[in-house]
Amino acid sequence: MSVNERLRALPSVDSLLQHDISQQLTGQYGQVALRDAIRACLDDLRQRLLSDEDTSLDSSDLMRQVAQQLQDQFQPTLRPVINASGVILHTNLGRAPLSQSAQDAVLAMASQYNNLEYDLEQGRRGSRYVHAEELLCEVTGAQAALVVNNNASALVLILSALAKEAGVVISRGQLVEIGGGFRIPDIMAQSGARLIEVGTTNRTRIGDYEAALDEATSMLLRVHSSNFRLLGFVESAELSEMTALAHNNNLICVDDLGSGALLDTAEYGLLHEPMVQESLSAGADVVCFSGDKLLGGPQAGIIVGRADLITRLKKHPLARALRVDKLTYSALNATLMHYQRQDAIEQIPIWRMIARSLADIDQQAKQWAASLAADVIDGESMVGGGSLPGTTLPTRLVALKASSPDALMTRLRQCDVPVIARIVEDRVCLDPRTVLPQQEQLLLSQIKALI
């Protein structure tokens, strides 16, 4: 058959719209999108025929191509993945997965009307700020609390409301860069605060802070270096020293903790991460931290501290621009309730992963290895997410056999639910610690299909 004859034999758009598969695709994607996809596939087929490519497709084959094109077109850019990398708080993978209670709370608030800004007792407009405040005060010991959309915005609000056009003293060793290239000096400049650097990169004493004070100084700021560690000849002022100096000079002392742990990480084989309760006990007037790191909840910037200062933050114009929505409040409240009930270790996924025993991981790894004809080797899990840098937890890895590890990593990412693994000593490895229980069987079935 000549090229022209094959071109004339191509089905029409209208005939393909009557195909059995089209009925299903119309219900899924709508007729306009279906018609456009059919035209695109027919155009592609014509080009191949004109290029003398030996292509033979019947109507069913063509409609299967249309279905694949529509599936690709309507695939959301934000998708669930299976985290087998061993990085518990993986910033690129959305950090902390929510507990079941938090998921249920989000669904309940997303699917119904709610009292986000309605006072049920008074029958009139209320404030959204009340929804997490009481719980935050209870679990941290603070007088008051405020929630904004992330910890960087929390710091911007604090500096803008409490130190605009005033001096803020900070150690040179704490002028850090956080994820995405955002730097503390840039954040301070944006807020209108005047940066006063003291000490050196590796050593800053309380006397350095004291020597920098002048009439225009309003704040001492400590920024926890949660994404790196300084080792060797280092020294830093204690937070209790900073708060004493601040209060003796009628200044505000702010502690930016970054990760914001409410549980003692040292109890689970990690270095001790500064806790929110410790900062408040040391006298910090305002403490800010993230909701989706060691707290284990949704993305949020949480600010706790003195009631009069939190009130000033709530009244600042930026507070409205940085506020969070009903879904964040619902997930955050459900997460905080785990700390209130003291079941965070059992119910919050990241704490369950941190606390998981090596023996339990080893048993699961051996089961996977037997199923996948793989090996089990020693490895290390990381907390990640700008928390506890350089600190790891011992784990057991499932090492897959592959002639090309990079090629297998690519194929894993192309699964229906992408699998994110890591390469260790030229082998593709899976860490059971970070795979959610409900994803285990899907992980194994997808890998079996590949190998």
pLDDT over threshold 80, residue 229: no
Residues 293, 260 contacting (CB under 8 angstroms): yes
Phi, psi of 406 (to 5 degrees): -65, -40
pLDDT over threshold 90, residue 368: yes
For 256, the 3-state DSSP assignment is strand
Q: Taking residues 154-176, what's their average pLDDT?
A: 91
Q: What is the pLDDT of residue 54?
A: 62
Strands in 318-438 per DSSP E: 375-384, 387-400, 419-420, 422-424, 427-430
Q: What is the pLDDT of residue 51?
A: 77
Report the phi/psi class of residue 87: left, alpha or beta, with left for phi > 0 and alpha for psi in -120 to 50. Answer: beta
Q: What is the largest CA-CA distance in the chain?
A: 95
Percent of the chain with pLDDT strictly greater than 70: 95
Q: Taking residues 446-450, what's their average pLDDT?
A: 94
pLDDT over threshold 80, residue 376: yes
| All domains of the chain in start order, with CATH | 3-73 (no CATH), 82-91+350-450 (3.90.1150.180), 98-347 (3.40.640.10)
pLDDT per position as a tens digit, 16-36: 999 989 989 999 999 999 999
pLDDT over threshold 70, residue 393: yes
Confidence band for 233, pLDDT divided at 50, 70 and 90:
low
pLDDT over threshold 90, residue 219: yes
Lowest mean pLDDT among 31-45, 96-110, 180-194: 180-194
Distance CA 66, CA 49 (A): 18
Place of tokens 């059995």: 20
Distance CA 260, CA 99 (A): 18
pLDDT per position as a tens digit, 353-364: 999 999 999 999
Distance CA 280, CA 36 (A): 60
pLDDT over threshold 70, residue 226: no
Q: What is the pLDDT of residue 11?
A: 86
Confidence band for 1, pLDDT divided at 50, 70 and 90:
low
**What's the mean pLDDT when you consider all of the chain?**
92
Q: Taking residues 78-85, what's their average pLDDT?
A: 97
Distance CA 375, CA 370 (A): 8
Residues 391, 270 contacting (CB under 8 angstroms): yes
Residue 216, burial from CB neighbour count under 10 angstroms (0-12, 13-18, 19+)? exposed
Confidence band for 47, pLDDT divided at 50, 70 and 90:
confident
**What is the β-pairing status of strands 194-198 and 167-171?**
parallel
Q: What is the pLDDT of residue 426?
A: 93
- CA angle, residues 389, 390, 393, in degrees to nearest 5: 105
Lowest mean pLDDT among 40-44, 183-187, 254-258, 415-419: 183-187
